[in-house]
Amino acid sequence: MSTENEGNPVPPAPSAPPVPVDTPAASADTAPGSVPEAPAEADGTPKYPADAPAYPQSAPQSAPQSAPEPAAASAPVDPARGDETAAHAAGSPAAAQGDWPPPAPPAVPAYASGDGAGAGGWGSTYQAPEPKPGGRRGGLVAAVAVAALVAGGIGGGVGYWAAERNDNSSNSTTVSASDTGPAPKRDAGTVAGVAEAALPSVVTLEAQGSNGEGGTGTGFIYDTQGHILTNNHVVASAADGGKLSATFSNGKKYQAEVVGKAQGYDVAVIKLKNAPSNLKPLQLGNSDKVAVGDTTIAIGAPFGLSNTVTTGIISAKNRPVASSDGGNSKASYMNALQTDAAINPGNSGGPLLDSRGAVIGINSAIQPASSGGGMGGSGQSGSIGLGFAIPVNQATTVAQQLIKTGEPVYPVIGASVSLDEQSDGATITQEGAGGSKSVTPNGPADKAGLKPGDVITKLDETVVDSGPTLIGQIWTHKPGDTVKITYERGGKEHSVDVVLGERKGDS
């Protein structure tokens, strides 16, 4: 599976419209550029009224100089233009009978300068702007579900067009709704109602490290003291002497600082400086109670487009995902909620809401597409309907610890396991990091009798198919919890209870 965060290239614009082929040939008695004489009735009166539209004195250069032979009636239909194109291809009745005046070719639009296919014309392809230097391209490599971190790099983005039309002409055929009637009703349980209530509590984050690198992401108000919950990978660059700001949906911008971050969980807590007194925290839901098929609403700033709302469902639960930014950083692990709500770079750290507007997860990663170049030249892909969110129950446990002490606490079994994705369980390695023992002496696994070479296949009732899956499952617990571990040794299956230990800080 691809680990690159890629999207689809921007399709080229359509070529210039074809000039109709049913323009009549010039008569041998008519000089080029002259106006042909209009036909008359037998008594000499004009066949058409005097105010009939004049035939153009000359056709565009691309118009044919002689009438074409009528096409066969079975001419293929252009799928882009339907039956109308087929009618022109076969020759319309008016053209075949020589009625006057023949239809004039359409005017060439101003944006179709040149021959309609050259550079700068209608047929030119879109060129995305060059990204500014210093952009963060945080691609997430997932060990179990391959995903990509969705923090947008500063300077990275996607080209888009905003067109405004102000048509006040009296001959418009459109019908406008009356402004005097009642406004559309948006109940609290609708998507519009949820978005209206939640948007004032969601912020767009801009982080920049002392080296100029950084990124954009999202966060949401956690409490009235000004704490904001987000992803570690969104704000990590600003943790040591960098700059961090949060912009609300009303445009107000505040400086912020990192209170604590947990790289392993990919969770961070920041706090607003000079926080306003009217902060409204988002309601926290219960991620253990969600079901596959439940409605989801994601809010974030995909590709820097702040206050974007998308919808979907819970596609799966307990999806093991391991991730890193593609550099030398250690992986993060989550037992994720999977959603098909559109999540893109810049959505990281934003809330995943249920139909009531309660937070059930923190949007963190996507499965990247395996095709083509980056969207808008950013090197990051767009949504393909596979998004992953950290369950809010786990995120709030981590957040409380970060607010209290500033550092994370991880539950551990005291054993090193292989991170190979293609396995039938989590194998305890023969040697730990840096040549240390793989089973910590007098640690939880050692006390339970686990040894190097044992293959852990279950944690409680959850099947363990790899090391990342085991870690993600362990990290849904707290230090001191007792878990049942099923393992294989010498072809035989065994089970043992293990009391989880703890590790403080990101090592």
What one-letter code names the amino acid at 238? Answer: A
Q: Which pLDDT band, with edges at 50, 70 and 90, does 176 fall under?
A: low
C-alpha to C-alpha distance for 397 and 286, rounded to whole angstroms: 12
214-221/152-153 β-pairing: antiparallel
The pLDDT of residue 483 is above 70: yes
Active site residues: 233, 266, 348
Q: What is the mean pLDDT of the chain?
A: 74
The pLDDT of residue 319 is above 80: yes
The pLDDT of residue 475 is above 90: yes
482-489/455-459 β-pairing: antiparallel
The pLDDT of residue 386 is above 50: yes
Residue/partner pairs of 42-49 with CB below 8 Å, 24 or more apart: 47/100, 48/100, 48/101
- Please give the average per-residue pLDDT across 462-473, as a whole number: 92
C-alpha to C-alpha distance for 148 and 387, rounded to whole angstroms: 9
pLDDT of residue 424: 87
Q: Are 337 and 354 in contact (CB under 8 A)?
A: no
Which DSSP string do the residues of 262-323 spell out, in sequence order? ETTTTEEEEEETT--TT--PPPB--GGG--TT-EEEEEE-GGG--SEEEEEEEEEEEEEEEE
Q: Which pLDDT band, with edges at 50, 70 and 90, does 240 fall under?
A: confident
pLDDT of residue 17: 42
Choice between 145 and 82, residue whose per-residue pLDDT is larger: 145
Best CA proximity match to 249, nearest among 284, 285, 300, 298:
300
pLDDT of residue 36: 47
The pLDDT of residue 407 is above 60: yes
